[in-house]
Structure 1
Amino acid sequence: MKNIIITGTSRGIGFELAQLFAKNNYNVLALSRNSEPLNKLNLKNITTLSVDLSNDNDLQKVTNFVTSNWENVDILINNAGKLVNKPFEKITTTDFLEVYKVNVFAVAELTKQLIPFLSKGSHVVNISSIGGVLGSMKFPGLAAYSSSKGALLTLTEVLAEEYKEQQISFNAIALGAVQTEMLEEAFPGYKAPVTAKEMADYIYNFSLTGNKYYNGKILQVSSTTP
């Protein structure tokens, strides 16, 4: 059984992904601040950890679990995200930091702590946004969010280069509109053409096979804007 770590599993795409992997006989370590939604499902292959990804001490819980229970990590999906939607003149340095802590710094720190458990053939998938892609359509109010997702894309490219000799693959999926709570926060009333479950299906398959074909790549997965 392969070992899968997924962040941001209390709702949306992460919640659906955790179920998909578990139901298909993979070991899942599901990370989120709120573990209750997954715990209620009582799926045998899922272990939940309540963690604040912006807290380094909480991240230590993850490495402690892996050290005690698993020998390696096959797939890491950095799915958790934070969004602040404010006019640029009203957004604060604290807002920027809070967004970057989750969308960039936590991804870097968690990945760094798990590098010793990632071996040849492992795949790290970073979930980004079309809004972070150079030259894409941008939207007012998302200065912190979109710029952080752009930073995540660059981080993915750098790590793919740095660990290519170890044959650890790093890829990023830049998502367009998916019907999640986060989309509703950014664009109230907008209805996306893709559900969280449908996108989870795509990410599930990509995380299992995408590293055979890609490394250090940014895949834009969007049929529309926003």
Structure 2
Amino acid sequence: MSKNIIITGTSRGIGFELVHLFANQGYNVLALSRNAQPVNNLHFENITSLAFDLCKKEDYVKVTDFIKTEWQHVDILINNAGTLLNKPFAETTFQDFEQVYRTNVFGVSEMTRIVLPFMKQNSHVVTVSSMGGIQGSMKFPGLSAYSSSKGAVITLTELLAEEYKETGPQFNVLALGAVQTEMLAEAFPDYKAPTTAMEMATYIYDFALTGNKYYNGKALQVSNSTP
């Protein structure tokens, strides 16, 4: 039976590549992004693309309705959407912090909460975090809001794995090192990462399908660079 996969943040970068990988293998994909057009252009019968904003409560209703009418269950949720802010802390306002946390923390939490009722014992929730969210890792000036938000979802993952350990699903988080994406280029124009979006997407694809056999409530560091 074909698996049903939900991926957030699919208009570019890792999320866009993940949609390709799952669809090419015949899985059903619900691609969620504020800009649905790039995925709409793919023309796969097994891909549904919805314009979706993690910060809008009404958009979550669209996802729930889709699952109820089209799928009834979800096998894998990949919380990939994120926003990156590179700004000196002294200039990072309350609104800046709020915006980053609304997407990177509250969005992950709410998406997971609404999808959970449709997940089975061996389903898998994978959240994409960052090496910057790992305690003791190298930190970078300007990333106070971003890296702290990525630390929050690591702890959230540990808590959910504990709360659902008897019933499932499994929850894991991948702390990525630097990946050459549009988001990275916008925040750090001069930096070139050693890993491409497609290379990282391939790793996440494999992990989402099989990682929950071996891990639950774990933060895995996926990085071949200092960042």
2:39 maps to which residue? 38
**Structure 2 gap ranges (5+):** none
One-letter identity of the residue aligned with 1:93: F
One-letter identity of the residue aligned with 1:95: D
One-letter identity of the residue aligned with 1:217: K
**Secondary structure, in 3 states, of the residue corresponding to 1:122?**
strand
1:199 aligns with 2:195: no
**Secondary structure, in 3 states, of the residue corresponding to 2:198?**
helix
**Secondary structure, in 3 states, of the residue corresponding to 2:90?**
coil
Question: Equivalent residues in 2 for 1:55-66 (5 A)?
Answer: 55-66=56-67
1:150-199 deviation per Cα after TM superposition (whole angstroms, max 9, x unaligned): 00100000000001111210000000010001111232121111100000
2:155 maps to which residue? 154
1:100 maps to which residue? 101
**Secondary structure, in 3 states, of the residue corresponding to 2:180?**
coil
1:121 maps to which residue? 122
**Secondary structure, in 3 states, of the residue corresponding to 1:61?**
helix
**Secondary structure, in 3 states, of the residue corresponding to 2:30?**
strand
Runs of 4+ in 1 over 6 A off after TM superposition: none
CA shift for structure 1 position 83: 1.1
Question: Equivalent residues in 2 for 1:42-191 (5 A)?
Answer: 42-191=43-192
One-letter identity of the residue aligned with 2:51: S
Distance in structure 2 (CA, Å) of the matches to 1:38 and 1:150: 29
State, as a whole percentage, how many aligned pairs show the same letter.
66
Distance in structure 2 (CA, Å) of the matches to 1:189 and 1:159: 37
**Secondary structure, in 3 states, of the residue corresponding to 1:54?**
coil
1:28 maps to which residue? 29
Distance in structure 2 (CA, Å) of the matches to 1:188 and 1:124: 32
**Secondary structure, in 3 states, of the residue corresponding to 1:120?**
strand
One-letter identity of the residue aligned with 1:101: R
* Superposition RMSD in Å: 0.7
CA shift for structure 1 position 85: 1.0
Distance in structure 2 (CA, Å) of the matches to 1:196 and 1:219: 18
**Secondary structure, in 3 states, of the residue corresponding to 1:164?**
coil
One-letter identity of the residue aligned with 2:135: L
1:4 maps to which residue? 5
Distance in structure 1 (CA, Å) of the matches to 2:184 and 2:166: 37
CA shift for structure 1 position 225: 2.2
Distance in structure 2 (CA, Å) of the matches to 1:114 and 1:43: 23
One-letter identity of the residue aligned with 1:34: N
Q: How many aligned residue pairs are there?
A: 226
Distance in structure 1 (CA, Å) of the matches to 2:42 and 2:71: 23
Distance in structure 2 (CA, Å) of the matches to 1:60 and 1:142: 32
CA shift for structure 1 position 12: 0.1
Distance in structure 2 (CA, Å) of the matches to 1:44 and 1:192: 34
Distance in structure 1 (CA, Å) of the matches to 2:90 and 2:194: 32
Distance in structure 2 (CA, Å) of the matches to 1:225 and 1:46: 36
Distance in structure 2 (CA, Å) of the matches to 1:30 and 1:184: 23
Give TM-score scaled by structure 1 length.
Answer: 0.99
